[in-house]
């Protein structure tokens, strides 16, 4: 549906949600859009298209639009220049290196075919001047091999020039400090200009939609929302901004290996945080940190990354896959599951390293990139240890299938390492495991370990300590019903549902846009599913 500002407005108001990903894979954003629409808001969710073409589908009563986003500003200026002093023989960074390497390979392949044809002709007795032709082929092969080595050397120099510059040398640090001192929080414009790529892709569409409220998910979208609010004010319109902070930015491991990424994004967040009319976040601990970091007058509202109580009701005709069948194991085989994003700081290695000490135990890794480099390394480690047949990597399922899918396991594992953001929240998989009534095996990150110890729903081990992890696994597998019994506590799981969290979100919207008739109790996560043929949502954010 194209909105040009002339269409009749929804009973409660028009909401534009912004997210810097493709929506699929972000269960929090999907549930939020669905919940808001079911509560009576007119919702358009804008995400980033994975292709150069726009995409559009319905998510319950919400419209999802993925926008093409060219990102030329994501490349640093030095990436367009040759490093003459350190790597003088490197190819220029314009694509010619790959062209030359492929051309030489094609030449060598042609020579192999020509040699084979000459051999066949000799056998058939039809070859003419065979000796001269063979000598010429040998000369060409030697020339091709020499050229290939030369091309490989220049290509290697180009690769080194690209990978060795990590923005951590004294000059780059001085550059960062200079712009911080000159521009203050505006320094991100020099240090991380790629943030403008989001503005240029999303901003015109937000203006066209003329929202009453913008729900900006995480730090990149905060600036897009704030600038749209400013433009609307000039036109005499008021837009309320809700900033939904999924992470504590100062506690993040930088997403890029350079010295500028974190200072730039922190400056961007500080510049635009004052434009938010309300702040939401995922945990009490993160709410406290955000209030202190940005001097917020009131603590942010907490909307947990909890699953829906109506697992499977979104699409009852498509039951969750059978986890044990996918692993090729029976009901009596001990199975540990990890569900979520795969990265070194998530600690998946320990689940494999412990298997030689846990005979018969299998591990299922439900991850965002089962064939990605990190998971491939984990699987290679399993092969080296001789346990490859007991490790199973597979992709996400639809977000409403997650809980019944996971329930086939014997325990859920959260082996994350000690990082500031890992210490302060109960992450998505914690709630998903809980609703699957799985005993938990968690590392000793502060908030999660404290919760598990208080509820008795699992065991805590020292992060990155294989021996202690093995102890925790043996304890849980030795008496799983002891830990499952924790879920019988009245009100525990009921408070960890998306329906309860959606009420908090709706109250925030209603506070900012008073006088709008409030919708009935939110049933977003239990409403109608996506239309046939839509891209399929999956396990999501905060994992």
Please give the mean pLDDT across all residues of the chain.
87
Q: Which of 140-154, 296-310, 511-525 has the lowest mean pLDDT?
A: 511-525
Q: Does the pLDDT at position 2 exceed 70?
A: no
pLDDT (tens digit per residue) in 454-463: 999 999 999 9
Q: Once rounded to an integer, what is the mean pLDDT over residues 310-321?
A: 68
Residue-wise pLDDT tens digits, 387-420 = 999 999 999 988 788 999 999 999 999 999 998 8
pTM over 0.85: no
> What is the pLDDT at residue 160?
78
- Check residue 166 and give its pLDDT: 54
User: Is pLDDT of 79 > 80?
Assistant: no
6 pLDDT exceeds 90? Answer: no
Residue 158 has pLDDT above 90, yes or no: no
Quick one: pLDDT band at residue 527, thresholds 50, 70, 90? very low
CATH of domain 323-494: 3.40.50.2000
CB-based burial label for 501 (10 Å; 0-12, 13-18, 19+): buried
Q: Which residues of 65-102 are buried (b: 16+ CB within 10 A; e: fewer)?
A: bbbebeeeeeeeeeeeebbeeebeebbebeeebeebbe
Report whether pLDDT(46) > 50: yes
Tell whether the model's pLDDT for residue 81 goes beyond 50: yes
What is the tens place of the pLDDT at every residue in 84-108? 667 788 888 777 888 888 889 898 8
State residue 533's pLDDT score. 36
What is the spatial distance between Cα 176 and Cα 174, in angstroms, rounded to a whole number? 5
How far is 307 from 385, CA to CA, in rounded Å?
A: 36
Cα 492 to Cα 340, 452, 489, 497, distances in angstroms: 23, 12, 6, 10
Crossing angle (nearest 10°) for helices 498-512 and 27-38: 60
More confident residue, 72 or 219: 219
pLDDT above 70 (res 524): no
Q: Which residue has the higher pLDDT, 127 or 533?
A: 127
The alpha carbons of the chain give a radius of gyration, in whole angstroms, of 28
**Quick one: angle between helices 218-234 and 195-209, nearest 10?**
50
User: What integer pLDDT is reported at residue 482 of this predicted model?
Assistant: 96
What share of the chain has pLDDT > 70, as a percent? 88
Instruction: Note the pLDDT of residue 313.
Output: 54
Over 80: is that where the pLDDT of 511 sits?
yes
535, exposed or middle or buried, with CB in 10 Å at 0-12, 13-18, 19+?
middle
What pLDDT band is residue 519 in, cutting at 50, 70 and 90? low
Q: What homologous superfamily is domain 14-73+189-302 in, according to CATH?
A: Glycogen Phosphorylase B; (3.40.50.2000)
pLDDT tens-digit map of 197-209:
999 999 999 999 9
pLDDT at 213: 98
Q: What pLDDT shows up at residue 185? A: 93
State residue 534's pLDDT score: 41
418 burial type by CB count under 10 A (0-12 exposed, 13-18 middle, 19+ buried): middle
Q: Per residue in 281-293, pLDDT tens? A: 999 989 999 999 9
Q: Using CA atoms, how far apart are residues 205 and 202, in angstroms rounded to an integer?
A: 5
Instruction: Taking residues 52-79, report their average pLDDT.
Output: 86
Segment 504-515 mean pLDDT: 95
Say what the pLDDT of residue 4 is: 45
Query: Can you give the pLDDT at residue 165?
Result: 60
With a cut of 50, say whether residue 372 has pLDDT above it: yes
The predicted structure's pLDDT at residue 82: 67
Predicted local distance difference test score (pLDDT) of residue 309:
76
Is the pLDDT confidence value at 139 over 90? yes
Which of the pair, 249 or 521, is modelled with greater confidence? 249
Q: Which residue has the tokens 């699992």?
A: 458
Structure tokens of 445?
Answer: 């990150």
pLDDT at 203: 95
Does 327 or 421 have the greater pLDDT score? 327
Mean pLDDT of the 175-203 span = 91
Per-residue pLDDT at 75? 63
């Amino acid at each position: 549906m194209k909105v040009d500002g002339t269409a009749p407005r929804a009973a409660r108001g028009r909401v534009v949600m912004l997210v810097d990903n493709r929506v699929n894979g972000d269960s929090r954003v999907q549930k939020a859009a669905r919940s808001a629409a079911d509560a009576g808001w007119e919702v358009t969710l804008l995400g980033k298209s994975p292709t150069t073409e726009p995409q559009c589908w319905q998510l319950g009563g919400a419209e999802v639009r993925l926008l093409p986003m060219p990102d030329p500003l994501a490349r640093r200026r030095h990436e367009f220049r040759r490093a003459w002093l350190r790597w003088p023989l490197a190819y220029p960074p314009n694509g010619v290196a790959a062209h030359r390497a492929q051309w030489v390979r094609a030449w060598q392949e042609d020579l192999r075919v020509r040699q084979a044809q000459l051999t066949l002709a000799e056998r058939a007795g039809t070859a003419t001047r065979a000796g001269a032709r063979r000598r010429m082929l040998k000369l060409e092969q030697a020339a091709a091999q020499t050229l290939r080595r030369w091309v490989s050397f220049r290509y290697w120099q180009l690769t080194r020039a690209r990978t060795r510059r990590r923005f951590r040398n004294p000059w780059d640090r001085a550059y960062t400090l200079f712009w911080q001192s000159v521009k203050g929080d505006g320094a991100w414009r020099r240090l991380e200009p790629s943030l403008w790529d989001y503005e240029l892709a999303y901003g015109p569409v937000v203006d066209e939609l003329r929202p009453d409220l913008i729900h900006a998910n995480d730090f990149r979208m905060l600036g897009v929302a704030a600038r749209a609010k400013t433009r609307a004010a000039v036109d005499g319109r008021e837009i309320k901004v809700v900033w939904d902070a999924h992470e504590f930015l100062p506690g993040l491991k930088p997403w890029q290996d350079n010295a500028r990424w974190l200072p730039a994004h922190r400056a961007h967040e500080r510049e635009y945080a004052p434009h938010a009319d309300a702040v939401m976040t995922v945990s009490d601990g993160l709410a406290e940190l955000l209030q202190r970091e940005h001097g917020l007058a009131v603590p942010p509202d907490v909307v947990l990354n909890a699953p829906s109580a109506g697992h499977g009701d979104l699409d009852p005709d498509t039951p969750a896959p059978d986890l044990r069948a996918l692993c090729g194991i029976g009901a009596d085989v001990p199975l540990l599951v990890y569900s979520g994003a795969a990265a070194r700081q998530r600690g998946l290695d320990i689940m494999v390293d412990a298997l030689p000490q846990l005979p018969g135990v299998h591990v299922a890794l439900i991850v965002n990139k089962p064939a990605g480099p990190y998971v491939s390394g984990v699987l290679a480690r399993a092969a080296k240890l001789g346990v490859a047949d007991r490790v199973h990597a597979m992709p996400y399922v639809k977000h409403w299938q997650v809980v019944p899918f996971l329930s086939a396991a014997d325990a859920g594992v959260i082996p994350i390492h000690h990082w500031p953001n890992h210490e302060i929240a109960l992450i998505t998989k914690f709630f998903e495991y809980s609703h699957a009534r799985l005993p938990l095996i968690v590392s000793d990150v502060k908030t999660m370990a404290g919760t598990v110890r208080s509820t008795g729903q699992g065991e805590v081990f020292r992060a990155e300590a294989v021996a202690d992890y093995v102890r925790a696994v043996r304890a849980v597998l030795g008496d799983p019903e002891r830990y499952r019994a924790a879920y019988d506590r009245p009100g525990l799981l009921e408070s960890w549902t998306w329906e309860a969290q959606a009420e908090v979100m709706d109250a925030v919207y209603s506070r900012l846009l008073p006088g709008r008739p409030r919708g009935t109790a939110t049933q977003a996560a239990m409403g109608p599913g996506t239309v046939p043929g839509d891209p399929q949502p999956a396990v999501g954010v905060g994992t």
